[in-house]
Each structure stands twice: as C-alpha cells, then as structure tokens.
Amino acid sequence: MRALVVDETGEGAVFRMADVPQPLRVQDEVLVRVIAAGVNPIDRKTKLGRGVSAAIPSYPAILGLDFAGVVEEVPYAAHPLKVGDRVYGMGRVPRMTGTYAEVVSIPSMSVAPMPIGTGFVEAAGIPCAALTAWGAVVDVARAHDGQRMLIHAGAGGVGHFAVQLATYFGAQVTATGSPRNADFLRSLGAQQVIDHTSERFEEVAGEQDVVIDLIGNVIDDTGTRSLDVIRRGGLIVNVPTKSWPTMAEEAAARGIRATGFVVSPDARTLSVISRLVDDGAIRVHVDEVFPLEQGETAHTRLGGGHVRGKLVLRVADDPE
C-alpha cells in the first residue's frame, strides 16, 4: 500500500511516499480503507523528535492518529460494524502503524460510524481534537450552566471544539484568539473574545471558574498568567504535554486545582460526539485539505500556526 513515511525523527526529518506492507488485522481489530487523515500537533511533535517518537519501534514509520474511511474487514460476522460501513476514529501511534496510509487496522473500541451528514474529509478532522476537547471540558472540567470558562487558542483544532462543547453544556465561555478569528469564535458560542495580540487576558477576562489551557508556558507564560484569573478553588486543565512543568506547584500555591490531560481513542465517546454533529450542536472547521503526497507541506503549515480548526490529508477519492 502507499503510505507517507519518515526514515527518522528530529528537526531534519522529512516525509516521503513509499510502498509498505499492508497491516495485518488481528484479534478485535477492524481493517479500514482510509479516505482522509487528520493532521494533529502531536503528529508534528513526533516527527520533530518529541511527542511519542521515543517509542517508535522501527523505521520507516507511519504517523497519523485520525482517519475516516470504509470498513474492509471485521473480526466476526455479527460485529456491530460491517464491511462497507463509513467509519472514523483515532489510532495509537506508535503502538500500531499510523493513518497517513491507504489502510489501517484499528481496535474495535477506537472505531465509530461517521456522522451521517458528514463527508470523509470533515470526519477525519474530528476524532483526536474533539475527544481531547470532550475530555478536558466535559469529563474533567464538568462544564455546566453558569460556569465561567476561559479557553485559550479557541479557534484551533481542539479549541474550536472546546468552545462549542462548553457552550452546549451551558458554560459562559471566554476565548482568546487573533482578531481575524473573533467573529469565528463568536459563531462557535464564545460570549467574550479576547484579542491576544493587543490585550492581556488577565486584565480583561474577569474571574473564571475554569481555564482550558491549550498553550502552556511555551508562549508568553500563558499558563502561569492564567492563574491570575482563576478563583480560589477553581481549576486549570493544561493539555499540551510538557508545556508547563511547574504547573502543579504554582497552582497549589494559589489554592487552585490543576491537572494535565491525555486523550483516549474511545469510540463510545466519539459516538456521542457524532450525535452532536448530526444534531448541529457542534461542527468541525477544516481550514485546508492537502493530498497525502503533500504531507510535508501540511506539517509546515501546521507548524506556522494560525490554523483555524483542522488540516486534513486526502488519501483517496470518495468511494462511489
């Protein structure tokens, strides 16, 4: 099969197209013909030698977590998924080969039927980002009516789902973003939008119950500054791993609860997200689509920042 691979990780790593063996389906896995694959920051971090690169067992390696495609093989005849079903989900790179390829074999509990009215490209942009947002906003922060929640980088991949989910569950959402994304953030449900290029959010956000930190201290000490707006006993949820090593100590000194978050590829939660997409309660925004062969260009674009929503790789044409 055709796949986008790397022969090493690190600052000098580049993608190339290659013919590689098709993965063998085993145990509870579902074999899926990939039509589109989402591009996530963790993919780029891994390519650059961070992320989960230390666990890659051999090269060439196939990266990519998100996929949308068509089922080709199932574990047994009475399996809930059938050959020909349109599905999407999230894999576990590097424990298995990634989704930047024509075929993937994914555990059943990580595969869900696609939202009914959503195409493959849009569906491929949902799993990792939406599941991360759900975990941070719903499972950890327990978004609810009247809760005041600040979401950093609200127009990004995880952020644009976080804003929508927090709003859906009744929270009063403040989001940080660039001026060009102000109207976009309001359309997602943000009641207050803070221009991070001209305003210090800690001076204008007001007191918050929760901060969903999608930046950390890697940019302008965003994490530490967030503690200034959280009420005593409130909560900060930091998502980018290793972006704020001193979070726990700093938060505890202020009487604020703090936790990181790591996403799980859970098809049960993804099925709930599918229903919200079908109902029009949340939506995915795909900023740009690249053919698989231009994966390097897609990663360069992602690394440059300013992506609204998601980037997606087109792996194959839609089935007839």
| 20 and 116 part of one domain | yes
Mean pLDDT along residues 142-153: 98
User: For 257-315, how does the pLDDT look when each residue is reduced to its tens digit (9 = 90+)?
Assistant: 999 999 999 999 999 999 999 999 999 999 999 999 999 999 999 999 889 999 999 99
- If asked whether residues 77 and 146 sit together in one domain, one would say no
Q: Residues of the chain with pLDDT > 70: what percent? A: 100
Residues 193, 101: one domain?
A: no
On whether the CB atoms of residues 31 and 105 are closer than 8 A, the answer is: yes
Residue 186 token pair: 């309001």
Residue 87 has pLDDT above 90, yes or no: yes
The token pair at 155 is 């127009």
pLDDT of residue 188 exceeding 90: yes
One domain, residues 251 and 271: no
Angstrom distance (rounded) from CA 308 to CA 81: 32
CB 123 within 8 A of CB 87: no
Which of the 8 DSSP states describes residue 317? P
Q: Are residues 145 and 100 in the same domain?
A: no
If you average pLDDT over every residue of the chain, what do you get?
97
How does pLDDT run across 148-177, given as a tens digit for each residue?
999 999 999 999 999 999 999 999 999 999
256 and 232 Cβ atoms separated by less than 8 Å:
yes
What does the block give as tokens for 184? 């976009």
CA gap 296, 177 in Å, rounded: 26
Question: Do 236 and 296 lie in a common domain?
Answer: no
Q: Per this entry, what is the length of the chain?
A: 320
98 and 168 both lie in a single domain: no
**The CATH number of the domain where 31 resides is what?**
3.90.180.10
pLDDT of residue 241: 87
Q: Per the domain annotation, does 161 fall within a domain? A: yes
Please indicate, yes or no, whether residues 33 and 124 belong to a single structural domain of this protein: yes
How many domains is the chain partitioned into structurally? Answer: 2
Number of Cβ atoms within 10 Å of the Cβ of 273: 23
Confirm whether 90 is domain-assigned: yes
Question: How, if at all, do strands 103-107 and 29-39 pair?
Answer: antiparallel
In a domain, 37, yes or no: yes
Which domain range does residue 309 map to?
2-128+265-314
Reading the block at residue 38, the tokens are: 């989402």
Q: What's 250's domain CATH number?
A: 3.40.50.720
Cβ neighbours, 10 Å, residue 14: 11
Do 294 and 308 fall within a single domain?
yes
Q: What is the pLDDT of residue 59?
A: 96
pTM surpassing 0.95? yes
pLDDT digits (tens, 9 = 90+) for 35-79: 999 999 999 999 999 999 999 999 999 999 999 999 999 999 999
Note whether 91 and 110 are within 8 A (CB).
Answer: yes
Return the pLDDT at 305. Answer: 87
How would you write 215-269 as a 3-class SS string?
A: CHHHCCCHHHHHHHHEEEEEEEEECCCCCCCCHHHHHHHCCCEEEECCCCCCHHH
CA-CA distance, 125 to 121, in Å (whole number)?
7
pLDDT for res 320? 81
Considering the domain architecture, whether residues 117 and 17 belong to the same structural domain is answered as yes
Given 242, 260, 278, the domain boundary residue is 260
Q: Are residues 185 and 78 in the same domain?
A: no
Does 238 fall in a domain? yes
Residue at a domain's end among 215, 243, 260: 260
Domain membership of residue 278 (yes or no) is yes
Answer whether residue 184 is part of any domain.
yes
- For residue 160 the two structure tokens come to 């644009």
pLDDT at position 275 is 98
Please check whether residue 167 lies inside any domain of the structure: yes
Return the pLDDT at 267.
Answer: 96
Do the domain assignments include residue 123?
A: yes
DSSP state of 246: T
Residue 64 and residue 18 in one domain: yes
